[in-house]
Amino acid sequence: MGKNYLDNIAIVGSGLAGLTLAISLAKKGIVSTIYEKENEDNLGGMGIQITPNGSRILSKLGVEEPLREIASKVESITALDGLTSRRLFSLELNQFSKGDELGYFTCHRGKLIRILCNKAMDLGVRFCFGKKITPQGLSPHGVGFSSDDGEEFHASLLIGADGYGSQISQILNPAGEKHKTDFVALRGLVPTEKLRKTEFANGVNLYMYPAQHLVTYGIDMGKVLNVVAIRPFEHLVDTEMDPETIKAGFKYFQFLESLLANATEIRTNLLYKGIIQPQWFAGKICLCGDALHPMPPFLAQGGNMAMEDGWVLASSLCNNLNLTDALNLFKSKRQQRLERMVKYTNSQAWINHLQGGLMYQLRNTTMTLADRTVPSLISSRYSWIYKGI
Ligand SMILES: Cc1cc2nc3c(=O)[nH]c(=O)nc-3n(C[C@H](O)[C@H](O)[C@H](O)COP(=O)(O)OP(=O)(O)OC[C@H]3O[C@@H](n4cnc5c(N)ncnc54)[C@H](O)[C@@H]3O)c2cc1C
């Protein structure tokens, strides 16, 4: 039934969305090609939290064994008032996965991507690294695209898994919502041997300050502390992504300076409000991952949702339907969950960045009270996410 769109699938982007899609297709006997603008040895990143919904997909992809060598299992997320160090709530994470599952873990993103690339290569997925792709347009038989070095390509189906700022998304959504920078993130990797004991608690720790927050967790088997500090973007100050300027804006983080003093790597990221692009697909082009729904990391779900997308898109494409029906199936399976996810993530931005004063105190009191009396209220905010697809 018109399934020749599976003959020559091109996936743009070797991130979590693109790799999950390629591996899932390959496991069903469909070989695709991944075009990635970076070189193979430059697919890094810093720490990443993989939540049970994402780790279940990774298990289905067949990478559980190598992952166990790089994954640090997380037992709890603890939220603290940064000003007083008072615990606001703690979420036990073992309730969201079975004992033998990978569950909630943290790791270095670059190592996770390497494991997925190896798996994809073993399954015969073709990779074209160092190719920055620009789509040329639609044709009745497929889609043409070229790379920045002038090479021309053709595919029966083009998947835009090219992340935030996706060029492919811009073709489908030329009048798409223009993003205003909302937040700025300062990230650092610090060897734990260089830290004082008080600077490193187990699990994922979320320190909430007026209008700012800080997340820390261990990666590389606890040898490295991943630090993510986030505050609103100040339009008059943060014109350049200079780490020193960005750092100076974190006025409540007395210990951020000392925490990052021994960082082996520091990066900055601009963050934007979560949205879902209006046009998911057109003709023989479809979006997934951040290209479809960029979202800030306040619930650590951008990468996890990207993997869910890749998995569901592969199963929709292999459903013996014509292309439009297959892509509509993908959309119908993902839309409700993604809309809820974006809504929750944006509301978490508000919760994490209250300015202080009455609302700040009210939030802290509510969290502390819920933690002591109805912890199920807190878990219910996360359980639908971690339960997965
Ligand atoms: C500070 C911070 C912390 C985060 N923490 C978490 C977390 O803990 N957990 C979580 O799940 N998510 C987290 N995220 C979000 C997560 O990183 C993204 O949502 C996720 O990486 C999206 O995956 P993707 O495959 O859609 O896109 P990407 O990972 O962005 O991959 C896109 C790929 O496409 C390539 N590409 C782009 N354009 C082209 C082109 N024209 N031609 C060829 N290749 C191209 C890029 O080089 C890249 O390799 C965080 C994000 C930030 C900023």
Domain count along the chain: 1
Verify whether ligand 1 is closer than 6 Å to residue 49 (CB atom).
yes
* Assigned domain for 31 exists: yes
Mean pLDDT, residues 5-33 taken together: 98
Mean pLDDT, residues 136-155 taken together: 84
Nearest atom (ligand 1) to Cα of 131: 43
Mean pLDDT, residues 269-280 taken together: 94
Q: Is pLDDT of 365 > 50?
A: yes
Ligand 1 midpoint to CA 164 (Å) = 7
* Assigned domain for 251 exists: no
Query: What is the DSSP-derived secondary structure letter of residue 248?
Result: H
Q: Is pLDDT of 2 > 60?
A: no
Based on its alpha-carbon atoms, the radius of gyration of the chain, rounded to whole angstroms, reads 21
Mean pLDDT, residues 116-128 taken together: 98
Verify whether ligand 1 is closer than 6 Å to residue 169 (CB atom).
no
Cα gap 336→13, rounded to integer Å: 25
Ligand 1 midpoint to CA 69 (Å) = 23
What percent of the chain has a predicted confidence (pLDDT) above 90? 79
Structure tokens at 243: 């780490």
Q: Where are the beta strands (DSSP E) in 192-311?
A: 204-209, 212-219, 224-232, 265-272, 281-282, 285-287
What separation, in Å, do the N-terminal and C-terminal C-alpha atoms of the chain show?
27
Per-residue pLDDT of 191-246, as tens digits, reads: 999 887 666 678 999 999 999 999 999 999 999 999 999 999 887 677 777 888 88
Verify whether ligand 1 is closer than 6 Å to residue 290 (CB atom).
yes
> Is the pLDDT higher at 235 or at 33?
33
Half-sphere exposure of 388 (CA within 13 A, CB side): 21
Ligand 1 midpoint to CA 385 (Å) = 19
Instruction: Give burial (CB, 10 Å; 0-12/13-18/19+) of 130.
Output: middle
Helix pair angle (16-27, 109-122), 10° resolution: 30
Helix pair angle (323-352, 302-317), 10° resolution: 170
Question: 180, 226, 220: which is closest to 200 by C-alpha?
Answer: 226
- The DSSP annotation for 53-98 comes to HHHHHHHHHT-HHHHHTT-EE--EEEEEETTTTEEEEEEESGGGS-
Q: Is pLDDT of 130 > 90?
A: yes
Verify whether ligand 1 is closer than 6 Å to residue 102 (CB atom).
no
pLDDT band, very low/low/confident/very high, at 1 (cuts 50, 70, 90) = very low
pLDDT of residue 251: 77
Protein residue with its CA nearest to atom 38 in ligand 1: 162
* Assigned domain for 206 exists: no
74 neighbors 216 (Cβ within 8 angstroms) = no
Ligand 1 midpoint to CA 31 (Å) = 23
Verify whether ligand 1 is closer than 6 Å to residue 345 (CB atom).
no
Nearest atom (ligand 1) to Cα of 294: 19
Verify whether ligand 1 is closer than 6 Å to residue 147 (CB atom).
no
Ligand 1 midpoint to CA 64 (Å) = 21
Identify which of 20, 37, 341 to mutate to test ligand 1's pocket (most ligand atoms within 8 A of the CB).
37
Question: 16, 53, 94: which is closest to 340 by C-alpha?
Answer: 53
Torsion of CA 373, 375, 381, 384, to 10 degrees: -140
pLDDT of residue 243: 84
* Assigned domain for 93 exists: no
Per-residue pLDDT of 40-51, as tens digits, reads: 999 989 999 999
* Assigned domain for 212 exists: no
Structure tokens at 111: 């190592």
Q: Is pLDDT of 111 > 80?
A: yes
* Assigned domain for 138 exists: yes
Strands 47-50 and 33-36: unpaired
Verify whether ligand 1 is closer than 6 Å to residue 13 (CB atom).
yes
Q: Which CATH number characterizes residue 316's domain?
A: 3.50.50.60
Verify whether ligand 1 is closer than 6 Å to residue 292 (CB atom).
no
Q: Quick check: helix, strand or coil at residue 251?
A: coil
Ligand 1 midpoint to CA 160 (Å) = 12
Ligand 1 midpoint to CA 85 (Å) = 32
Lowest mean pLDDT among 92-101, 244-253, 374-383: 244-253
Mean pLDDT, residues 354-374 taken together: 94
- Which residues face 267 on adjacent strands? 187
* Assigned domain for 317 exists: yes
Residue in the block written with tokens 């292309």: 323
Per-residue pLDDT of 281-337, as tens digits, reads: 999 999 999 999 999 999 999 999 999 999 999 999 999 899 999 999 999 999 999
Ligand 1 midpoint to CA 13 (Å) = 9
Nearest atom (ligand 1) to Cα of 305: 11
Cα gap 230→353, rounded to integer Å: 9
Identify which of 16, 182, 241 to mutate to test ligand 1's pocket (most ligand atoms within 8 A of the CB).
16
What percent of the chain has a predicted confidence (pLDDT) above 70? 95
Structure tokens at 374: 């109805």
Sign of torsion over alpha carbons 312, 178, 324, 15: negative
Q: Is pLDDT of 254 > 80?
A: no
pLDDT of residue 179: 67
Nearest atom (ligand 1) to Cα of 292: 26
Ligand 1 midpoint to CA 171 (Å) = 19
Measured CA distances, 42 to 9, 23, 129 (Å)? 24, 20, 10
* Assigned domain for 374 exists: no
Instruction: Give burial (CB, 10 Å; 0-12/13-18/19+) of 377.
Output: middle
> Is the pLDDT higher at 150 or at 236?
150
Q: How far is CA 303 from the centre of its chain?
A: 2
Cα gap 5→141, rounded to integer Å: 9
In terms of residue numbers, what domain contains 279?
4-73+106-178+274-351
